[in-house]
Structure 1
Amino acid sequence: MSARGSELVFLPLGGVGEIGMNLALYGVGPPHARKWLMVDCGVTFAEARWFPGVDLILPDISFIEEERQDLVGIVITHAHEDHYGALLDLWPKLQVPVYATQFTAGLLKAKATENGKLVTPDVTVVKQGETLDLDPFKVEFVPMSHSIPEPNALAIRTADHGLVVHTGDWKIDLDPGVGAPIGIDRLRELGEEGVVALMCDSTNSQRPGRSPSELDVAAGLKAFVETAPHRVAVTAFSSNVARIRAVCEVAAATDRHVVVMGRAMRRVIEVATECGFMDGLPRFLSEDDVGHLPRDKVLVLLTGSQGEERAALARIAGDSHPRVALSEGDRVIFSSRTIPGNEKAVGEVMNGLALQGIEVVTDAQGLVHTSGHPRRDELVELYSWLKPKVLIPVHGEPMHLAAHERLAKANGIDHVVRISNGKMVRLDPGPAAVVDEVEPDILLMDGKLLRTPDQSNVRERRALAFAGVVTAVVTLDDRYELDDDPMVVLMGVPVRDDEGETFREQLVDEIAGAIESIPRHRRRDRDTVIQAARRAIRSHMSQRWGKKPLCHVFVVNAP
């Protein structure tokens, strides 16, 4: 029987209703005195059309900031950016213990050093299979398979409310390439123990069958490398150590040297080497070695699979890399998927390569990539192992969550709670249900500044991108008459209208007319003059252009 008034609740602040920015809270105790556990602290990448100039989007943690004296720790399931990428920026607001495996801790430390972070968490390294005692939670790291080393599900136990399982990102892969395979026997044992609720990855819930193994991808890569007549370049997610290792083994089998390009790729390889995941591989070469090797002896492993404009592959595609170039007849393999929103950037890179006569290979031509997330048959198999009483679909957009709900109900899980960020679900006691709500918000990494959308003025930036800006300077003499024609500067606005007249000259006349129509005694009020000029600018541009630009009007006195 649960303690009087005590509840176990689940509250996602990110990652539910979207892919990315994962951050979940588990709370235990009565509503007025809960202890909290944070799982993951990730980012998502900003879309330029909605957040121009913004690099990353982070979850707003103001709710848990207010409760930080009751936050017992932060547990990171694995080292993908959407699960740990916000930690260095948000941890200073919380300053509580952080727990992660060796590979995740190593990448976090390397990232902090590279970015010059002065205040960083002291991470406690946890081995897979180990259990943490974070009173009132006991948290077991259960090995899973994913597209990165040491991914974990979390078996979270509390004295009064039993066991819940948080899957993190996972798939069923008995040959993951590096690290331990998914702990099937342990997952079955947890199911026998009794799982109150399962918070489960929904990314591939619409896709039938099973995700291929990394072993299958290695075979597919080898087929394309061994038939290439000249240089081969392979681009992949830098965090996919199993893929990196597979590429290196393919290179050795086909008598090629591996040249590594890209800071992120080198950083991951350094950490993976420290963890023993690169043991037994030949020495990596640098980009300076490419020009000294026969063309048919080169395999370049490089960043840029998502079309990042500063990445090595984009510069090669634009023929602007200072040290490395590919030639007609070379082959580039995209061992990756295109993240939604990056399609245009990736297409530009592929077209740039094609214009140089370089062959582009994607997963449309063969098995050169596999997802790190479970498809429908894998989800059903996990249900059979864990036998959860309740399922909460997470890590997915609304269409993924809806598909996951239907799949679960069709396979014997009657109680599915579909929620979005900010919905607090009581998991125990009683039937799982939404019992409270936190208004979800986001933070923007805007250059070096961490700000809310309002503080970064992204709405104004969108308006600038859509309709430009007009700046006008009005000079009044001591009688409040125009001393000279208004000065008008246009940015992001067409120069001329359909009749060939310049907008600048038109606006000079419109502004002058608007000001002269104001009674002279009222021109002493600068705000009245400014508003009249703004209305004239926006009205004229709307009539002649069909858009209303942003307007800045300055009123000065004649010397």
Structure 2
Amino acid sequence: MTPDHNDLWFLPLGGTGEIGMNLNLYGHGGQWLMVDCGVTFPRPGRIAADGTIHHRGEPPVQMADPAFITDRRDQLAGLIITHAHEDHVGAVPYLWPLLQCPLYTSRFTAEILRRKLAEFDLLHRVPIIVVETGERRPIGPFDVQWLALTHSIPDPNALMIRTPLGNIFHSGDWKLDDQPLVGHGYSRKTFTDLAEEGVAAMVCDSTNATVAGHSVSEAALHDGLLAAINGAEGRVVVTCFGSNIARLHTLAMIARETGRYMGLLGRSLINMSGAAKAAGLWESADQLISASHLGYLPRHEVLAVATGSQGEPRTALRRLANGSHPDFELESGDTVIFSARAIPGNEEAIDALIGRLRTMGVTVITAEEAALPIHASGHPAREELEAMYQWVRPDVAIPVHGEAEHMEAHACIARACGVPRSLVGRNGDLFMIRPVPGIRRQVVETGRLGWEKQELVPVF
């Protein structure tokens, strides 16, 4: 199955009908362009996009099976990574040896990627081409432009993919944050200009399509986090997603304001902060101390930021709750702040972790319980989706990055905004944008690979 010069296709192998392990293909003129290559972390009992139920004992890291495109590797023009979240970049070290193509991404994402590739002894084999926001590059028969949007990680990019048959706007993960604190912002004019040029299809994030209103800005969290930390008597541990450099900046500012010393607990936090420094995205005033020093400080002077907001095993917060962390032990009167919300499917693990902490006499503050906002989603709620459709005015809406409920809600929003047609499908469906918009269901067999005992194995 090869697209000719009359075809413009979108083919998701992962991330459509589910949240995680994004892997998208665009086809035109005999070639394919891949956008994102991510992983997922299975949760026992959770139903996958194809109806399969995850079970215990599966490989802990899984990704979309790329067999369709690896069988056509000579047709793969390149791979674009839109941002550095695991569900968009995490599968590259596992799958690149099967793909063998150039990789295009932004400066911060490239820093994260280099660290991942070094672990697999691939650092000097993978051709990484760093692009700037606003830049246009030809990749095979596609003319691709990187567009500034905001998300919960520095330097995310949307894409305008231009072809002689029509243009596709690929949003990546995004929100409309007027004060993102770190990295580039966004401009309304960027997207209204796309409408003037003409957009055949908009392939867009559906994660929060069921959420009313507008997402909270990162800048709006300072007061809530300050109040929670200022009111604490003992040590404070804040758990959040390690990729949120803006949240780390806010916490570093609060550490200065409250006379506490801030240290990072967890490999992903340390890697992310290192990448931010290398990419010039870390404020020089935001000084960190070694986590090994935290145990020697008076309790009221400690502010630790820890991995483990989703209750994952072997993370820093779980080790603190079990009394097995090497740097210090939590005591009655300490405070743990969850500056994150539960990813669906993780509620049981998080509740068990919170229960364990409270049994220890630790005060726990969650985003749901806090009087002021202490967490902001990185995805667009309904008002943001409505704004983007009014700006871009595509001929066709293609909801992705969501489960069926999210994508159907997204399609309803698009129709209410005057988009003539919405195409809702799932992994393995072929979305035909040109010559005639439509879907051919389950044209490609999809599945998952897992990383187990240093090799890729089929999961289902």
- TM-score of the pair, normalised by structure 1: 0.77
Query: How many Å apart are 1:406 and its aligned residue?
Result: 1.4
* Within-5 A mapping of 1:221-260: 221-260=225-264
Over alpha carbons, which structure has the higher Rg?
Answer: 1
- Give SS of 2:88's match: helix
Indicate if the aligned counterparts of 1:261 and 1:286 stay in contact, CA closer than 8 A: no
Query: How many Å apart are 1:425 and its aligned residue?
Result: 1.3
Q: 1:203 aligns with which of 194, 202, 207?
A: 207
Indicate if the aligned counterparts of 1:55 and 1:447 stay in contact, CA closer than 8 A: no
Q: 2:396 aligns with which of 390, 397, 419?
A: 390
Indicate if the aligned counterparts of 1:20 and 1:82 stay in contact, CA closer than 8 A: yes
* Within-5 A mapping of 1:253-268: 253-268=257-272
> What residue in structure 2 maps to residue 92 of structure 1?
97
- Give SS of 2:337's match: strand
CA-to-aligned-CA distance 1:407-439 (integer Å, 9 cap, x gap): 211221130011111111111223344387111
- Asked if residue 427 in structure 1 is aligned to residue 433 in structure 2, the reply is yes
- The CA distance in 2 between the partners of 1:105 and 1:41, in whole Å, is 14
> What residue in structure 2 maps to residue 291 of structure 1?
295
CA-to-aligned-CA distance 1:531-550 (integer Å, 9 cap, x gap): xxxxxxxxxxxxxxxxxxxx
CA-to-aligned-CA distance 1:438-493 (integer Å, 9 cap, x gap): 11121122242211126xxxxxxxxxxxxxxxxxxxxxxxxxxxxxxxxxxxxxxx
Indicate if the aligned counterparts of 2:19 and 2:401 stay in contact, CA closer than 8 A: yes
Q: 2:139 aligns with which of 114, 118, 134?
A: 134
> What residue in structure 1 maps to residue 330 of structure 2?
326
- The CA distance in 2 between the partners of 1:38 and 1:4, in whole Å, is 17
Shift of the 152–314 alpha-carbon distance from structure 1 to 2, 3 Å rule, reads same
- The CA distance in 1 between the partners of 2:75 and 2:106, in whole Å, is 24
- The CA distance in 1 between the partners of 2:322 and 2:4, in whole Å, is 66
- The CA distance in 2 between the partners of 1:51 and 1:139, in whole Å, is 40
- The CA distance in 2 between the partners of 1:180 and 1:353, in whole Å, is 38
Q: Larger RCO: Structure 1 or Structure 2 (Cα < 8 Å, ≥ 6 residues apart)?
A: 2
> What residue in structure 2 maps to residue 417 of structure 1?
423
Shift of the 116–302 alpha-carbon distance from structure 1 to 2, 3 Å rule, reads farther
- TM-score of the pair, normalised by structure 2: 0.94
- Asked if residue 280 in structure 1 is aligned to residue 276 in structure 2, the reply is no
Indicate if the aligned counterparts of 1:9 and 1:28 stay in contact, CA closer than 8 A: yes
Amino acid paired to 2:10: F
Q: 1:65 aligns with which of 66, 70, 74?
A: 70
Alignment RMSD, CA only? 1.7
Shift of the 120–264 alpha-carbon distance from structure 1 to 2, 3 Å rule, reads farther
Structure 2 regions of 5+ residues with no counterpart? 46-53
Query: How many Å apart are 1:307 and its aligned residue?
Result: 1.3
- Asked if residue 381 in structure 1 is aligned to residue 387 in structure 2, the reply is yes
CA-to-aligned-CA distance 1:176-199 (integer Å, 9 cap, x gap): 110111232211111111111000
- The CA distance in 1 between the partners of 2:313 and 2:43, in whole Å, is 14
- Asked if residue 36 in structure 1 is aligned to residue 32 in structure 2, the reply is yes
- The CA distance in 1 between the partners of 2:172 and 2:6, in whole Å, is 26
- Asked if residue 184 in structure 1 is aligned to residue 191 in structure 2, the reply is no
* Within-5 A mapping of 1:7-26: 7-26=7-26
Amino acid paired to 2:406: H
- The CA distance in 1 between the partners of 2:456 and 2:441, in whole Å, is 31
- Asked if residue 149 in structure 1 is aligned to residue 145 in structure 2, the reply is no
Query: How many Å apart are 1:371 and its aligned residue?
Result: 0.7
Amino acid paired to 2:104: Y
- The CA distance in 2 between the partners of 1:294 and 1:5, in whole Å, is 68
- Asked if residue 402 in structure 1 is aligned to residue 393 in structure 2, the reply is no
- Give SS of 1:324's match: coil
Query: How many Å apart are 1:57 and its aligned residue?
Result: 1.7
> What residue in structure 1 maps to residue 51 of structure 2?
none
Indicate if the aligned counterparts of 1:88 and 1:121 stay in contact, CA closer than 8 A: no
Indicate if the aligned counterparts of 2:339 and 2:374 stay in contact, CA closer than 8 A: yes
- The CA distance in 1 between the partners of 2:403 and 2:442, in whole Å, is 22
Shift of the 135–114 alpha-carbon distance from structure 1 to 2, 3 Å rule, reads closer
Q: 1:450 aligns with which of 440, 456, 459?
A: 456
- Give SS of 1:40's match: strand
Q: 2:116 aligns with which of 111, 125, 138?
A: 111
- Give SS of 1:39's match: strand
Percent of pairs with identical residues: 43
Indicate if the aligned counterparts of 2:234 and 2:333 stay in contact, CA closer than 8 A: yes
- The CA distance in 1 between the partners of 2:358 and 2:63, in whole Å, is 36
